[in-house]
A = this chain, B = another copy of it.
């Protein structure tokens, strides 16, 4: 039950249409809560019928017309409620770790190339995060809201750093015992 709250957050930061939201999810909020445009349109419809958001008035007839939404007071209240509510962490799910565990049983043939590919993807993501940090959070004092956003970005940077290190270490293991 987090997608509606991700959308509310994005809309509070800036009222947007469905496609604009989709693009912004690809760039920022989606780094830790991804969503496709289908999910977003469906959820925008729900949030509107629930009275948490509304379409900005600008006479939109039907398909093919942009439709921007803004958050209503009830939506802001719901987001504040959800943010403050206690939530248990979701149980982990990581297919790559599972595959290594399986490889311990059925052999490591073929897995090394994919580890390299993953390492490459994580290095790219890390570089992207660090670029965002340079652009958005230059050295000096962040504003209170920016301190929280910076903290979230640091989590992303540190996680990607972990993965690149761990994958490098894993590949070294393979180098030592060729063929598994």
Chain A residues close to B by CB (< 8 Å): 2, 5-6, 8-9, 12-13, 29-34, 76, 79-80, 82-87, 89-111, 113-114, 117-118, 121, 144-149, 151-152, 154-156, 158-159, 162, 165-166, 169-170, 173, 177, 180
Contacts and interface: CB of A to CB of B under 8 A. Distances in A.
Contacts of A101: 9, 29, 32, 148-149, 152
5 contacts: A5-B99, A100-B148, A100-B151, A155-B166, A158-B166
Copies of this chain per assembly:
2
Q: Chain A at the B interface: mostly helix, strand, loop or mixed?
A: helix
B34 A93 contact: yes
Contacts of A84: 109-111, 114
A107 B145 CA distance: 9
